[in-house]
Amino acid sequence: MSELRLCFAGTPDFSAAHLSALIAAGHTIDAVYTQPDRPSGRGKKLQPSPVKAVAMAAGLEIRQPASLKTVEAQQELAAIAPDLLVVVAYGLILPQAVLELPKLGCINVHASLLPRWRGAAPIERALLAGDAVSGVTIMKMDAGLDTGDMLYKQQVAIDPEDDRISLTDKICEAGKLALLHTLSHFPELSSQAQRQNDSLSTYADKLEKSESLLRWQEPAEKLHRIIRAGLGRAPAFSFINGARLQLLEASVAQTESQKTPGTILEISRQGMLIACGEACLLVTRIALPGKKPWTITDLLNSGTDLLQAGAILSHSD
């Protein structure tokens, strides 16, 4: 088979890493689709997406339609006439007309082992559920939500201390390798594509802010998962004396306490030990309202009296 002529569609850092991998591997990319520039920072200046930045550096043609549902956007893609559209966390819906435009269709890099965790937040949901493994699936796209036939899978182990950031990095590395493998063996993999078993599907809805609220009567293991899943995007939080406290890093301490769940049992340079419904949580990094993240050592050096042994964290302000 001759070299595939590709278009690429993606927006965030995760997507940009895959685009960079395609460029480094020498693939022909006729155009890059990414979401329109968004205002960012204090000055609210328009900023390009990470994918646009990579495409600009590589001198690739860039398209930024607000929607792919318009006749104009679809005509533009039809004029490019790619063999295949590679989609990685693009963030815009691809209507059926777009799915049918490329000669060989559209493929997607999805950050889970489908059919488990279809939807917007597969990495966070895998962490919250306590899954031991995750991975990436390269699939043909259809009109459903991550329901297309599967071309290739790459498994990734979830370590007990993995958080959203570290697991995203691991899945991103696996995704780049899986995408390059799929493109190198596309005719064979396409002919052997596997249908998903819908009866095994689970859905990864976006995390609601309320899900990041720690309820201390829960087991420490569950609270630890919430902290790990929320890092960087929806940080876990609690309240103390009406102040909102973010909890950014912790571990499970296999000790029991008869104190009210949420009670700070002790604060030392090892961390802040908090009673839970089952076992305890040893918190090592936090953020106070309006402050940058602190280690517990920073907290001890600060002289603040907001957090001290005997104080009780709650799930309401």
Q: Mean pLDDT per segment of 10 residues, for the chain of length 317 residues?
A: 88 98 97 94 88 98 97 97 98 95 98 97 97 98 96 97 97 98 97 97 94 96 96 91 93 93 95 96 92 88 83 86
- CATH at residue 155: 3.40.50.170
The answer on 89 and 9 residing in a single domain is yes
Residue 181 is encoded by which pair of tokens? 């493998």
Task: Please indicate, yes or no, whether residues 49 and 130 belong to a single structural domain of this protein.
Answer: yes
- Same domain assignment for residues 174 and 215: no
Q: What three-state secondary structure class fits 29? A: strand
Q: Distance (Å, rounded) from C-alpha 283 to C-alpha 270?
A: 9
Full-model pTM: 0.94
Residue 147 burial class via C-beta count within 10 angstroms: exposed 0-12, middle 13-18, buried 19 and up: middle
Q: Is residue 20 one of the residues assigned to a domain?
A: yes
Burial class (CB in 10 A: 0-12, 13-18, 19+), 204: buried
Q: 270 and 131 in one domain?
A: no
CATH number, position 292: 3.10.25.10
Cα–Cα distance, 277 to 216 (Å, whole number): 6
Residue 299 confidence (pLDDT): 84
Looking at the fold, whether 227 and 192 belong to one and the same domain comes out as: no
Pair (32, 154) in one structural domain: yes
Same domain, 188 and 252: no
> Both 154 and 194 in a single domain?
yes
pLDDT of residue 2: 62
122-129 helix and 164-184 helix, angle to the nearest 10 degrees: 120
Element (H, E) at 228: helix 220-230
- Whether residue 163 is contained in a domain is answered as yes
